[in-house]
């Protein structure tokens, strides 16, 4: 790895992180000792049919390595995907922080970002209802800085002490290891029903934020409040935000469950393909800055990770851009072996006393020791700092750095006192000084006791369709809970957030609503009364636009996948025209036909289908075009293709997607559920619509017409 000594004020080149790759092209096979292998087909035997020989060191090396290929998966966030990229600071934050990667305007810093689900194993589906991890490693010239965040700005619990309990509750139950990657089961909801502090996060986790359309269409949050320290030693509190340029979008729950079967790698593939196609995912980076003096000005505690700072109270200032522009060369070496830690800091950024964050500071190094197996995990290429490491640590499993000389202690004279401590002016890290004076005590701050105001704020801020989805998610999850008392307790908690929500859910999950008339009736006798004292309190901010996906960016179709359904006889002119319009907007067109055989168009052109009606499903597309052409439409409705064609159209319709019926496709339109529409639907385009191509593009950019879901909700 190149030493960055001379890189002081220039941008760090992404290639510097690439030095450890090998390219096998044109090379001969070797053993791990570099010996060229002459026969990679047969083991060494005594006679052609005879026993294999123990001395076959080539076979033994190959099989031993294979036997040890697996490493323990992450205990949480096991399923994930990552990519390389670059972070650029567009507006200096020098006023608040001395961190160089944030304070030198225009500076670019290489990053690796890993997205993940939390509960499932490494092989589980991407579309589980779950929080998504959003972890970023910034390879800065001052050392690696890790921002290990999520796509939801708050967390389930307030204190690290409860994390193993939370995770044990959500993971598969210990007796039968069921269910995989799902919170819809007894133990999760049992725990939640007893943890009023989780109710705000439950609102987010039951919302569509937990079933994103794409990793590229999620927000990222640092979650905890952090500190910025400037070069004068002045401190500001800071909350970190990443806002996707493509907008924040989700799929429908019915879609999520179907994608899990059709393509359980949906998010992994989506990220990979977007980057391969040059549609680099981008986020605006923003900060909410809070002066030290304002620490106690909010109606919640800044140290409480179950609370967010409403953007109406402290606006998010957009100051940078995160772009992912390179897929990993090797999933295991990079995405699997990357080791994040909220304690990987640079000067100018520091922690707060958030008791959840404080616990994390212990956990992440500890977990790497068992997952990666050695305290030398920082030497794995993806984890290396671009700075050369100089310290007196030595030895350990798989040590790679070869430090010269006799000295591995400090102070010393034999090594001329080196390596020596860095002064602050030379970038030496110092923790922000803070007066700490208190009783040694196992307790929680009184400032943490209001568990419902921000849950209300979130619920109040949702659009009607979002509220419906949230209600349905709760109904789905609680319907899987087999113990009635757990369902009752959860409904009791919901009642503190919104009575109507509680009643709706109660009705569907068989909870006796009379219990809701006594707000405390369904709370266990041993619950902390302090947590119950403010159920009626209204949040200061009554609703917040930033919390609803309705208000997200809806002006781009970049990288959206549009399925063109066609058969022989398709109108080539129309197909080419719409395809080029969509591609101009950087959308991706994929052809679906009755089979994978080339489709012959009316003018003799042929189109190569990427999918057949049976190899994919509408849930894998953002929008559909039923291509113009009488013969094509008739072929799509022949005995063979009709069930597939109608399922495609009806499902896309049910999931509120844009559908464009090209010329002479009335047969399909009339046989589908779309025909039953009783109103004007802006996402159904026909060749007679005004500016049909333009209207289609607009409808795709709008993502979905969720507000018409009730009308569109015919069985697919």
349-350 and 561-565 as β-strands: parallel, antiparallel, unpaired? unpaired
Instruction: For residue 445, give both structure tokens.
Output: 């701050």
Sheet architecture: strand order including 684-686:
611-612, 588-593, 561-565, 623-626, 658-661, 684-686
Return the range that interacts with ligand HDE (CB under 6 A); candidates 149-157, 209-217, 544-552, 621-629.
149-157
List Cβ neighbours of 572 (8 Å cut-off, separation of 6 or more).
601, 602, 603, 605, 607
Residues 517-576 that bind ligand HDE (CB under 6 A): none
Contact between 205 and ligand HDE by CB under 6 A: the answer reads no
Q: How many residues in the shown chain lie near ligand HDE by CB under 6 A?
A: 26
Give dist(CA 539, CA 544) in Å, integer. 11
Residue 356 contacts ligand HDE per CB under 6 A: yes
The nearest distance, CB 114 to ligand HDE, in angstroms, is 4
Helical spans, DSSP H, in 462-554: 464-479, 484-497, 499-508
Which of 93, 119, 128, 148 is in the footprint of ligand HDE by CB under 6 A?
148
Distances in Å between the Cα of 188 and the Cα atoms of 181, 512, 623, 707, 709 are: 12, 22, 35, 31, 30
Rounded least distance, CB 512 to ligand HDE, Å: 36
- The correct pick among 4, 12, 17, 76 for binding ligand HDE (CB under 6 A) is 76
Q: Name 465's Cβ contacts closer than 8 Å, sequence gap at least 6.
A: 550, 706, 707, 709
State the catalytic residue, choosing from 6, 38, 39, 77: 77
- According to the binding rule CB under 6 A, does residue 163 interact with ligand HDE? yes
160 binds ligand HDE (CB under 6 A): yes
Q: What minimum distance in Å lies between the beta carbon of 355 and ligand HDE? A: 8
150 is a catalytic site residue:
yes
**Binding of residue 77 to ligand HDE (CB under 6 A):** yes
H/E run at residue 81: strand 80-89
Is the Cβ–Cβ distance between 643 and 658 less than 8 Å? no
Q: How far is residue 582's CA from residue 562's CA, in Å, rounded to a whole number?
A: 9
Stretch touching ligand HDE by CB under 6 A, among 56-64, 277-285, 359-367, 705-713: 359-367
Q: How far is the CB of 11 from ligand HDE (least distance, A)?
A: 25
Q: Give least dist CB 265 to ligand HDE, A.
A: 17
* 241 interacts with ligand HDE by CB under 6 A: no
- 74: contact with ligand HDE by CB under 6 A: yes
Which of 75-83, 376-384, 398-406, 602-610 is the region at the interface with ligand HDE (rule: CB under 6 A)? 75-83
Q: Is 495 helix (H, G, I), strand (E, B) or coil?
A: helix
> How far is Cα 345 from Cα 350, in angstroms, rounded to an integer?
7
- Give the residue with the Cβ less far from ligand HDE, 124 or 628: 124
Residue 240 structure tokens: 């970190």
**Distance of alpha carbon 76 from alpha carbon 288, whole angstroms:** 28
Least distance in angstroms from the C-beta of 212 to ligand HDE = 14
360 binds ligand HDE (CB under 6 A): yes
Is the alpha carbon torsion for 184, 215, 712, 651 positive or negative? negative
Does an H or E element contain 565, and which? strand 561-565
Nearest CA to 465 out of 656, 603, 643, 644 is that of: 656
Three-class SS state of 583: helix
The residue number with the shortest CB distance to ligand HDE is: 133
Exactly one of 84, 144, 150, 236 is catalytic; name it. 150
| Smallest distance from ligand HDE to CB 345, Å | 15
- Shortest distance in whole angstroms from residue 338 CB to ligand HDE: 6
65 included as an active-site residue: no
DSSP 8-state code for residue 110: E
**Phi, psi of 180, rounded to the nearest 5 degrees:** -85, 135
Find the binder of ligand HDE among 194, 223, 636, 646 (CB under 6 A): 223
Q: Check binding of 225 to ligand HDE (CB under 6 A).
A: no
Site string for ligand HDE, 105-124 (x = CB under 6 A): ---------x-x--------
Considering the complex, state which of residue 323 and residue 383 has its C-beta at the smaller distance from ligand HDE.
383
Residues that bind ligand HDE (CB under 6 A): 74-77, 80, 114, 116, 133, 135, 148-150, 155, 160, 163, 223, 305, 338-340, 356, 359-360, 363-364, 367
Which residues are part of the catalytic machinery? 77, 150
């Amino acid at each position: 790895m190149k030493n960055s000594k001379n890189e002081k004020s220039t941008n760090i080149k992404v290639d510097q992180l690439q030095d450890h790759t090998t390219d096998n092209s044109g090379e001969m096979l070797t053993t791990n000792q570099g010996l060229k292998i002459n026969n990679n087909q047969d083991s060494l035997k005594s006679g052609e049919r005879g026993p294999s020989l123990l001395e076959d060191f080539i076979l033994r090396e190959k099989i031993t390595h294979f036997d040890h290929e697996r490493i323990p998966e992450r205990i949480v966030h096991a399923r994930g995907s990552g990519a390389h990229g670059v972070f650029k600071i567009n507006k200096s934050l020098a006023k608040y922080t001395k961190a160089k990667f944030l304070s030198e305007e225009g500076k670019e810093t290489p990053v690796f970002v890993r997205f993940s689900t939390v509960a499932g194993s490494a092989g589980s589906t991407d579309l589980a209802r779950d929080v998504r991890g959003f972890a970023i490693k910034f390879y800065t010239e001052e050392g690696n800085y890790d921002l290990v965040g999520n796509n939801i700005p708050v967390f389930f619990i307030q204190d690290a002490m409860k994390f193993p309990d939370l995770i044990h509750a959500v993971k598969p139950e210990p007796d039968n290891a069921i269910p995989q990657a799902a919170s819809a089961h007894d133990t999760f909801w049992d725990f939640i029903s007893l943890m009023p502090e989780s109710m705000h996060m439950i609102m987010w986790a039951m919302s569509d934020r937990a079933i994103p359309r794409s990793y590229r269409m999620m927000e990222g949050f640092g979650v905890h409040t952090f500190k910025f320290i400037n070069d004068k030693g002045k401190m500001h509190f800071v909350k970190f935000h990443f806002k996707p340029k493509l907008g924040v979008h989700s799929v429908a729950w019915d879609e999520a469950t179907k994608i899990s079967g059709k393509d359980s790698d949906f998010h992994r593939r989506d990220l990979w393909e977007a980057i391969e196609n040059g549609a680099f995912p981008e986020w605006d980076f923003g900060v909410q800055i809070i002066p030290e003096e304002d620490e106690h000005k909010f109606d919640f505690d800044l140290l409480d990770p179950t609370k967010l700072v409403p953007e109406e109270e402290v606006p998010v200032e957009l100051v940078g851009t995160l772009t992912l522009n390179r897929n990993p060369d090797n999933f295991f070496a990079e995405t699997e072996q990357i080791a994040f830690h909220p304690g990987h800091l640079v000067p100018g950024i520091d922690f707060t006393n958030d008791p959840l964050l404080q616990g994390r500071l212990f956990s992440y190094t500890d977990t790497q020791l068992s997952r990666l197996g050695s305290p030398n995990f920082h030497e794995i290429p993806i984890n290396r700092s671009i700075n050369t490491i100089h310290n007196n640590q030595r030895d350990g499993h798989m040590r790679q750095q070869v430090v010269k000389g006799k000295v591995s202690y400090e102070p010393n004279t034999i090594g001329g006192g080196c390596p020596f401590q860095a002064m602050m002016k030379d970038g030496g890290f110092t923790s922000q000084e803070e007066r700490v004076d208190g009783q040694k005590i196992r307790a929680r701050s009184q400032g943490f006791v209001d568990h419902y105001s921000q849950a209300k704020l979130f619920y109040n801020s949702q659009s009607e369709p979002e509220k419906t989805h949230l209600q349905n998610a709760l109904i789905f999850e609680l319907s899987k809970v087999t113990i009635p008392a757990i369902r009752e307790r959860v409904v009791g908690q919901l009642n503190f957030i919104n009575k109507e929500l509680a009643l709706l859910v109660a009705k569907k999950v068989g909870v006796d609503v009379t219990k809701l008339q006594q707000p405390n009736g369904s709370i266990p006798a041993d619950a902390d009364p302090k947590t119950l004292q403010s159920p009626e309190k209204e949040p200061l901010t009554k609703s917040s636009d930033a919390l609803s996906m309705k208000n997200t960016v809806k002006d781009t179709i970049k990288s959206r996948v549009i399925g063109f359904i066609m058969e022989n006889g398709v109108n080539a002119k129309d197909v080419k025209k719409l395809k080029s319009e969509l591609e101009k907007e950087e959308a991706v067109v994929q052809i679906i036909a009755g089979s994978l055989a080339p489709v012959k168009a009316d003018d003799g052109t042929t189109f190569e289908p990427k999918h057949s009606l049976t190899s994919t499903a509408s849930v894998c597309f953002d929008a559909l075009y039923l291509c113009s052409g009488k013969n094509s439409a008739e072929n799509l409705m022949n005995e063979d293709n009709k069930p597939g064609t109608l399922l495609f159209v009806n499902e896309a319709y049910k999931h509120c997607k844009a559908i464009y019926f090209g010329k002479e496709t009335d047969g399909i339109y009339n046989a589908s559920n779309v025909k039953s529409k009783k109103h004007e639907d802006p996402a159904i385009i026909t060749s007679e619509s005004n500016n049909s191509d333009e209207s289609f593009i607009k409808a795709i950019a709008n993502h979905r017409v969720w507000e018409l879901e009730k009308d569109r909700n015919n069985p697919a």
